Amino acid sequence: MSWLYDAFVYKVISYVYPLINSRKNMNNNKSQAEKFKSLFGTRLPIVAGGLMWLSNAEYVAAAANAGILGFITAATFPDANDLRNEIRKCKSLANGNPFGVNVSMLPKLVPGEKTVEVFEIIIAEGIKIVETSGRNPEQYLPMLKAAGVKVIHKVPAVKYAFKAQEIGVDAVSYTHLTLPTTPYV
């Protein structure tokens, strides 16, 4: 009857193992959420990624007040003064809750090379969280890190996430939006 015993044990294991595994995953997810909250200072481990033309001061402040990490899209405000004013407006509405600025570095989306200028404004305005996207942010990391800015880089696939980790960003976020020829990292 040992086969019956083996079959019984196998059956028990096949039920219990997935339960143990899903519990492990739950704990892992929980610690990821805690890490996110302590890294970015939000109440919830949720990102509202930058939305060109849409994520303005009101939208981002609403996210911040709801405990979510939102981003003003720098590309929506190509004029330096407009970007500065939008950041200041968001600060005045966000009640001290954290928010960030999205810097999309897709050359086709943002004509002219203003990336350094945009980061300088972000740093001067005391913003401590940046979401980069569109291409490799490596060359800008030293200036951002020196100013205590945390960088979330947005990637469309796991291999780019590994590259982003290697160059030293603080976190990655995922997007399914891609352009076929874009080298993301």
Ligand X SMILES: Cc1cc2nc3c(=O)[nH]c(=O)nc-3n(C[C@H](O)[C@H](O)[C@H](O)COP(=O)(O)O)c2cc1C
Whose Cβ is closer to ligand X: residue 108's or residue 176's?
A: 176
Minimum CB separation of residue 60 from ligand X in Å reads 12
Q: Which is nearer to ligand X, 61 or 101 (CB)?
A: 101
Query: Least distance in Å: CB of 118 to ligand X?
Result: 12
Q: Which CB, 16 or 52, lies closer to ligand X?
A: 52
Contact 151, 165 (CB under 8 A): no
Nearest distance in Å: CB 103, ligand X: 8
d(CA 151, CA 117): 17
CA angle (126, 130, 134) in 5-degree steps: 145
Question: Measured at CB, which residue is nearest to ligand X?
Answer: 49
* Contact footprint for ligand X (CB under 6 A): 49-52, 54, 73, 75, 102, 104, 133, 154, 175-177
Give the separation between CA 52 and CA 169, rounded to whole angstroms: 22
CA distance 62 to 182: 32
